[in-house]
């Protein structure tokens, strides 16, 4: 924190993290352009490897494009009102000396996705990531430049009335169950 934020802001961020859920049922209600632009502006603030911003965002709210995108993405269970495809500009990455299997650009995709999910939640928009799709088909549907590789799609829409209730992880699972402390003297 920079000093101008108080504990209230920290509490609000932690509450957003705890209350955000993947939305799998969405209404047909459109998402206004200003909301989409606000989500995209938030995404540009996601941390990136070397602050190079190798990720690119491709947005559509066109019903026909979304229909075809769903057809080539078996994991796209919702019928979103919009979708943001997070791509890696592989040509730009290579220009910076990243080998094709470098983890940095993949981490960038993840931080951008997490930021998009939280921004959408903060704006009252449901969201959920999709990773099971044909990259070649997604690239063709979205008419991507040759150097852009689609990594995942984030579906956006207003939560539908038939959304399943939130799952809060395995009952009784805490951060302690997921964590191992290591000290100089001994692991715990």
Architecture of domain 47-159: 3-Layer(aba) Sandwich (3.40)
The pLDDT of residue 1 is: 46
CA angle 139, 55, 105 (to 5 degrees): 105
Q: Using N-to-C axis directions, what is the helix angle for 33-43 and 103-122, rounded to 10°?
A: 140
Within a 10 A sphere around the Cβ of 125, how many other Cβ atoms?
25
Alpha-carbon distance of 150 to 152, in angstroms, equals 6
pLDDT band at 173 (very low <50, low <70, confident <90, very high): confident
Q: At residue 136, does pLDDT exceed 70?
A: yes
Structure pTM? 0.85
Check if the beta carbon of residue 96 is closer than 8 Å to that of residue 50: yes
**DSSP code for 65:** H
Residue ranges per structural domain of the chain: 47-159
Please give the torsion angle defined by the CA atoms of residues 93, 94, 100 and 105, in that order, rounded to the nearest 10 degrees. -10
The per-residue pLDDT for range 97-128, each reduced to its tens digit, is 999 888 888 899 999 999 999 999 999 999 99
Yes or no: say if 152 and 129 are a contact pair by the CB < 8 Å rule. yes
What pLDDT, on a 0 to 100 scale, did the predictor assign at position 172?
77
What distance in Å separates the CA atoms of residue 183 and residue 180, rounded to the nearest whole number? Answer: 10
The whole-number pLDDT of residue 2 equals 56
- pLDDT at position 180 is 83
């Amino acid at each position: 924190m920079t000093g101008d934020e108080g504990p209230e802001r920290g509490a609000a961020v932690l509450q957003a993290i705890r209350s955000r859920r993947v939305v799998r049922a969405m209404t047909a209600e459109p998402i206004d352009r200003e909301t989409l632009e606000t989500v995209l502006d938030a995404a540009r603030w996601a941390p990136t490897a070397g602050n190079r911003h190798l990720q690119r965002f491709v947005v559509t709210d066109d019903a026909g494009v979304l229909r075809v995108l769903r057809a080539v993405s078996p994991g796209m269970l919702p019928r979103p009102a919009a979708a943001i495809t997070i791509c890696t500009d592989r040509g730009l990455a290579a220009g910076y000396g990243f080998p094709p299997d470098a983890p940095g650009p993949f981490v960038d995709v993840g931080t951008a996705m997490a930021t998009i999910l939280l921004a959408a939640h903060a704006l009252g928009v449901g969201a959920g990531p999709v990773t099971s799709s044909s990259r070649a088909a997604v690239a063709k549907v979205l008419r991507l430049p040759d150097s852009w590789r689609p990594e995942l799609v984030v579906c956006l829409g207003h939560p539908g009335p038939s959304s399943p209730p939130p799952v809060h992880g395995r009952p009784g699972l805490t951060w302690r169950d997921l964590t191992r402390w290591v000290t100089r003297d001994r692991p715990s």
